[in-house]
Amino acid sequence: DGGITQSPKYLFRKEGQNVTLSCEQNLNHDAMYWYRQDPGQGLRLIYYSQIVNDFQKGDIAEGYSVSREKKESFPLTVTSAQKNPTAFYLCASSIGGNSWDEQFFGPGTRLTVL
């Protein structure tokens, strides 16, 4: 089955720790995205990558970092510099990086800071 997988489903972090969220896709898509969703709100873009070894900041990149070493993988690291990291994190991909390309989403990771 083709799709996007995210792991873990739930993640708990102590204050001051860095954590990495995994996102893998087998759709052969060039572009991948990370969003953050807070309760009752829409999605906000953290980072996106249109091609391997290249990525751009979204609206709320501070306190986050990414890498894109392989086409199918786009991990997100939530660093200790992120002041309010508790949220639902969603990964998405599209066939290309054009604004008109359809996006497909993974099941999400819920991060809670203890």
Partner 1 sequence: KQEVTQIPAALSVPEGENLVLNCSFTDSAIYNLQWFRQDPGKGLTSLLLIQSSQREQTSGRLNASLDKSSGRSTLYIAASQPGDSATYLCAVYKFYFGSGTKLNVKP
Q: Could you list the residues that contact partner 1 (CB under 8 A)? A: 4, 6, 33, 35, 40-45, 48, 58, 88, 90, 92, 94, 98-108, 110
Distance CA 46, CA 36 (A): 7
CB-nearer residue toward partner 1: 78 or 92: 92
Whether 18 and 79 have beta carbons less than 8 Å apart is answered as yes
For residue 44, the minimal CB distance to partner 1 (Å) is: 8
CB-nearer residue toward partner 1: 36 or 68: 36
CA angle in degrees (0–180, nearest 5) for 105-106-110 = 120
**Other C-beta atoms lying within 10 Å of the C-beta of residue 58:** 16
For residue 77, the minimal CB distance to partner 1 (Å) is: 20
